[in-house]
Amino acid sequence: MPIIDSETGQVTKDYTVAELIDKAREMRAWNMISLTAAGSGHTGGTMSIMDITAALYLKHIRHDPKNPQWEDRDRVFWSTGHKAPALYVALGMAGYFDNRRVSFHDEVLPNFEDVSGIEQTVLLRKLGSGFEGHPNWFKLPGLEFSSGSLGQGLGVAIGCALNAKLEDKDYRVYCLMGDGEQDEGSIWEGVMCAAHYQLDNLVGIIDFNRLQIDGSTEEVMKVSPLRAKYEAFGWYVIEIDGHDMHQILDALEQADKVTGQPALIIAHTIKGKGVSYAEDVVGYHGVVPKARSGPESLDVALESIGATDLFPPERVDALLQIAEDYQDQVDAKIAAAMPQFSRDYWWNHADNMVVEMDATRNGFGRAIAKLGADERVVAHGADITGSIRMDRFYKPDGKTEDPERLKRFFSIGIAEANMALVAAGFAKEGKIPFIGSYGVFATGRNWDQLRTTVGYNDFSVKIADAHGGISVGPDGATHQALEEISVITCLPNFHMVVPCDAVETTKATEAIAAIDGPAVVRYAREATPVVTNEQTPFEFGMANVIRYRGEQDQFVDAFETVLAADYDSEDEQLAIIACGPMVPEAMRAAYILKEDYEIETRILNVHTVKPLDEEAIVTTACEIPVIITAEEHQVGGFGNLVAGAITRGDVGQAIRLDMVGVQDRYGESGAPCIAQKALDLLGM
């Protein structure tokens, strides 16, 4: 069924197979341009799935881009949400954005009136553009749901298909999945459910490109034979070349005719299809062209795709300029919204107070490399081993694999719940197992396993809660972990550290390895200021007091840090109690407040949030009546722990307390300003 007018039933656009092949080529070019403009994203999977995407949105499904919520439309669910750029390009080509204006937080921006619908896809991963790293169905027309957490789309598609049966509707439901996604147990729960209900209005499509982040599907977690597995569960299975447009269309037609059981199309594809340097390369899962020209560049990609006729250099320049101009306007709006002080106090914007930047995940990597020398320590991978630096366990120098350590490393695949349970088995036998993934998966998806099996049994499983907070902003809300402090600290037997920088992350990771019982270390992806050093005191369970002492060449030298138990009050006017990357922000706030307003600030770095150093918190509340808590988390996750400690203590004075954090919403990139919050509380 081609694109139709939902009111009249008339065909508005139909493509021949030859035209579809050309459109897929053009869509690949748009995809590579948008990824280059974004500077991040997924080249491999977006290119492998593009022919299927073109066939669905430009030829096969029944839909009306002018009426995205048409009740009788066919539904397509992108369970493989990280391939969103391919989806955006398809929607743009189909006409979903033709009447959409370029805007930022619902404010239409000037000077973009001539930007067409498809051209808007170059705003990929730009703050407020709607084209997030993973689909957000509140932001763009044509999306059926927000996705990105693998293994969840099939269940939603099943519910939608069941509803069609319930209401006697004839719309069809399609679910796009990845091959690595088949690791997730939730997929197989859905596979069984769909067959049980004989959902012949449901078609699953697997982009079977055989590569994941950590390696091939056979190396990470063997998923084959997929056909036999699905058939054993009661599905009708079709296998095709996922780059042959004739086979794709024939398979879709065949799947639609299946009765009494759900259908699955296994599309054999090539990751990075069309881009010479990215084809069938593991490293191009989350990597984009490195430059405009050169060996692995956008220009080479467009030439390889065969799209230089459609996108000559001057057109590419103009499209990249759209993205740059949008970013400039957004930056200007953010800057205008930020509080203004006597001078620019932003990191490394002055000749003095220079700070080193390093990703806290590197601190974890250094720790796990050291801990790997202990034969009791084992480690597990969840297909993002390098990203979270867990690979340093078996590559202590960051490059060379250690055969002896590799024997103690176990790839579990994209299966976080199983990873927690396998680790529990190791812990039961006296090992010290480390598991890890992005925070939303490492402590979120497997929370029941952590609670019931790990926590209740008091097994010494150590969890690397990576990419915590909003530092993965361009990936979108599905990957921004903002809830872990709440969900972990409420669990009996658990311990949790939230270190402030890369150096402290190393110390904190080593500390939790040495204690009995389950423990979590929460750290970020992007580079953050390094505000401690090897001499900075660190004791598990004890907070540090940090005091600004005056400008220095190096930011870290401008502060004095001591254990809270060893600190004597200096009658400060304000206390900022913080954890994680908000500690450097608290230090910057103290610097601003002293230099511009002569306000003395005590910073309490609570790197161990469980067990909480209640004595240090209560002492601070006894001595300072104005307190701010700061967390890169849903507001109150950490702040309420602090508030609870204060209310349980014998403080003896009225306290004005406020909290800085994400305000009860799903994540979006932004910049905190603790200094302005302090001025508000102090009535200045």
pLDDT digits (tens, 9 = 90+) for 353-374: 999 999 999 999 999 999 999 9
User: Is the domain of 521 the same as that of 564?
Assistant: no
CA dist., res. 94 & res. 102, Å (int): 18
User: Is the domain of 456 the same as that of 364?
Assistant: yes
- Mean pLDDT, range 31-46, rounded to an integer: 95
pLDDT score at 286: 79
State the alpha helices, DSSP H only, in 391-430. Answer: 403-406, 416-428
Q: Which run of H or of E encompasses 633? A: strand 626-634
User: Is the domain of 165 the same as that of 141?
Assistant: yes
- Mean pLDDT, range 21-40, rounded to an integer: 97
Name the band, by pLDDT with cuts 50, 70 and 90, for residue 475: low
Name the band, by pLDDT with cuts 50, 70 and 90, for residue 672: very low
**Domain-located, residue 322:** no
Characterize 306-321 residue by residue with b for buried, 16 or more Cβ atoms within 10 angstroms of its Cβ, and e for exposed.
ebeeebeeeebeebbe
For residues 94 and 338, the model is more confident at 94
Q: What are 620-639's pLDDT values in tens digits?
A: 999 999 999 999 999 999 99
- Mean pLDDT, range 313-334, rounded to an integer: 94
User: Is the domain of 489 the same as that of 441?
Assistant: yes
pLDDT score at 421: 97
Name the band, by pLDDT with cuts 50, 70 and 90, for residue 477: low
CA dist., res. 559 & res. 536, Å (int): 11
User: Is the domain of 507 the same as that of 627?
Assistant: no
Q: What are 491-543's pLDDT values in tens digits?
A: 999 999 999 999 999 999 999 999 999 999 999 888 999 999 999 999 999 99
User: Is the domain of 416 the same as that of 511?
Assistant: yes
Q: How many domains does the chain have?
A: 3
Q: Does the pLDDT at position 671 exceed 80?
A: no
pTM, rounded to two decimals: 0.93
Q: What is the mean pLDDT of the chain?
A: 94
User: Is the domain of 194 the same as that of 225?
Assistant: yes
E-assigned strand segments in 150-279: 173-178, 202-208, 236-241, 263-268
Q: Does the pLDDT at position 471 exceed 90?
A: no
- Mean pLDDT, range 70-74, rounded to an integer: 97
**CATH number, position 19:** 3.40.50.970
Estimate to the nearest angstrom the gap between the alpha carbon of 188 and the chain centroid. Answer: 24
Give the residue numbers spanning the domain of 405: 358-529
**Domain-located, residue 438:** yes
Using a pLDDT cut of 90, give the percent of the chain over it.
88
What 3-state DSSP class applies to 206?
A: strand
Final residue of a structural domain among 480, 497, 529: 529
CA dist., res. 533 & res. 504, Å (int): 8
User: Is the domain of 165 the same as that of 189?
Assistant: yes
User: Is the domain of 470 the same as that of 525?
Assistant: yes
- Mean pLDDT, range 587-599, rounded to an integer: 97
Cα angle for residues 641, 644, 648 (degrees, 5° grid):
140
Q: What are 187-239's pLDDT values in tens digits?
A: 999 999 999 999 999 999 999 999 998 899 999 999 999 999 999 999 999 99
**CATH number, position 611:** 3.40.50.920
Q: Does the pLDDT at position 670 exceed 50?
A: no
Q: Does the pLDDT at position 664 exceed 90?
A: no
pLDDT score at 673: 57
Q: What are 539-586's pLDDT values in tens digits?
A: 999 999 999 999 999 999 999 999 999 999 999 999 999 999 999 999
For the ranges 204-208, 439-443, 677-681, the one whose mean pLDDT is highest: 204-208
